[in-house]
Amino acid sequence: MSGAFPGWHGTTILAVRKGGRVVVAGDGQVSLGQTVIKGSARKVRRISPGGHEIVAGFAGSTADAFTLLERLETKLEAAPGQLQRAAVELAKDWRTDKYLQKLEAMLIVTDGREFYVITGAGDVLEPEHDVAAIGSGGMYALAAARALVETELDAETIARRAMAIAADICVYTNGALTVETIG
């Protein structure tokens, strides 16, 4: 995450789908270089556009992520209950709009049935293996969750254990989790 604040790091967001539920977990650490600026940031949120509940986790600039979440809400209000359509429309706008192109964030969004990773490159990715992760420790959390998803553990336990593993490995990830379940 470069741009106006070079050296800002932080955030691991993980989504796990299992047993008819999707769990999105995010750590709370925000760092500037070698300094932890905040340890309890809330990067996983529930939104309810048009009465349809969505859970979203974000990595990157908080202001940029909130701008994208507001745009997503607008897209969902125009197409109630159609998360894929709203995600594609958001990604299209993000890629083509001069203002939005400067935004530095990534999103994981779910309605409990589907979940997607949305990027500024115009990607709307439906993850394989019912696991997705973004952010500084995302690949550590993803690997841990992929290994755990084949066990008898439920989605929340998998997410919590995978996030703990990521926090042990990635210096930009901590154990102060926000966990939301939907589905």
HSE-CB at 120 with a 13 A cutoff on CA atoms is 19
Residue 129: CB atoms within 10 Å: 12
Respond yes or no: is residue 11 known to be catalytic. Answer: yes
Catalytic residue among 11, 12, 110, 173: 11
| Distance from C-alpha of 141 to C-alpha of 121, rounded to nearest angstrom | 23
Per the DSSP assignment, residues forming a β-bridge with 59 are: 106
Residue 12 tokens, joined:
């691991």
Residue 18: CB atoms within 10 Å: 21
Residue 87 tokens, joined:
């995600």
Measure the CA angle with vertex 62, ends 39 and 172; round to 5°.
Answer: 40
Cite the active site residues. 11
